[in-house]
Amino acid sequence: MKQTKTLKVRVRDKHVPLLQQMARSVNCVWNYLNELSTRSIRERGRFLSAFDLHPYTKGANKELGLHSQTLQEIAREYVTRRKQFKKSRLNWRKSGGVRRSLGWIPINTGAARWKNGQLYHNGHYFNVWDSYGLSQYAFRSGSFNEDARGRWYFNVVVEVDAEISAGQDKIGIDLGLKDIATCSDGVKLEAGRFYRDLEPKLAIAQRARNKKRVKAIHAKIANRRKDALHQFTRKLVKRAGAIYVGNVKPSSLTQTKLAKSVLDAGWGMLKTMLEYKCAGAGIVFKAVNEAYTTQTCSNCGALPDSRPKGIAGLGIREWTCSACGVRHDRDINAAKNMLAVGHGRPAVGIPVL
């Protein structure tokens, strides 16, 4: 059984000037297509498809220093984003200034390959830190991407053998801020571990207006978060046969005073990782309705008067059910209820048999 996977490797810094030049050309093509599409909508009332845009950029790859398939990928990506955001005109890609766009060079299948121990694309060889053994894979579509620190990476989609999980556990997961994730069996991923020891250093760098140092610290925090989430999700996938997580939407909480904690928790990244890892391992993954999962007793299914209620009850971490007398950890109780909802049991109004 095969599955697709995206591999990310870093390109050595000596190739940065060439990649930056190619990225400026990509921005030029994007902006040209943006203006062309906008004029077509304004003057003729017609939305141009990627097929319609291809003739306008045909043959320009030699002057721009790009691969011909890169031009086609830019047109395809532009049309995709225009439909996604439902706009007749997208933002310009800026090659300079404070708000410049991060470098991006799309590559179609067959436009890049592994040759002589290096990555070969558009007549150029690129040295990369090959941590995956790229020579054993057939490259599909991919891209060169720049991060906030000016480092470049090569991302490529490949086919790998799927690893079917032998785990049989059924796990419910409650997402929170005190603990990023709490499983129904009591396993927790603590929040705040990514940045607490770096906060003083970040504050010093920000006061000194040392932008380079600030970017480096933020990148370190992001890498810590990603590494912790990868380890946590991988352990879950190895031992689980089904995973159910609450359908909480972090975007609705980023406009409140909890924004910093919500963004640091990385709920969206956690759910994305679980989704694609479960798909690759043949595991059931489902986002379930988390309504009343905190207030419902996971033992008897009642909504007792002693339950934590509303915003005032957020500080209550443990409570005792007045109906059956069982004492609950707030998050573990919610995770158990999500597991029950995932199995088809409603969150409220369950009779005691």
Structure confidence at residue 57 (pLDDT): 94
Instruction: Work out how many domains the chain is built from and give that number.
Output: 2
Instruction: Give how far the C-alpha of residue 19 lies from the chain's centroid of Cα atoms, to the nearest Å.
Output: 24
Whether residue 240 is predicted with pLDDT greater than 50 in this model: the reply is yes
Judge contact between 245 and 175, C-beta under 8 A. Answer: yes
Does 149 share its domain with 198? Answer: no
Does 241 share its domain with 303? Answer: yes
Does 236 share its domain with 296? Answer: yes
Range of the domain at 205: 164-352
Dihedral sign for Cα 218, 219, 224, 228, please: positive
> Which has more pLDDT, 321 or 344?
321
Nearest alpha-carbon partner for 174 in 341, 302, 312: 341
Residue ending a domain, choose from 110, 126, 161: 161
pLDDT digits (tens, 9 = 90+) for 62-114: 999 999 999 999 999 999 999 999 998 999 999 998 889 999 999 999 899 99
pLDDT digits (tens, 9 = 90+) for 241-266: 899 998 887 777 777 777 777 777 88
Query: Which residues 6+ apart lie within 8 Å of 335 measured at CB?
Result: 171, 172, 173, 174, 182, 183, 184
Whether residue 163 is predicted with pLDDT greater than 80 in this model: the reply is no
Does 185 share its domain with 331? Answer: yes
Does 254 share its domain with 172? Answer: yes
Structure confidence at residue 11 (pLDDT): 97
- pLDDT band at 351, cuts 50/70/90? very low
Does 210 share its domain with 97? Answer: no
Does 303 share its domain with 321? Answer: yes
For residues 289 and 274, give the distance between their C-alpha atoms in angstroms, rounded to a whole number: 17
Judge contact between 73 and 110, C-beta under 8 A. Answer: no
pTM of the complete model: 0.81
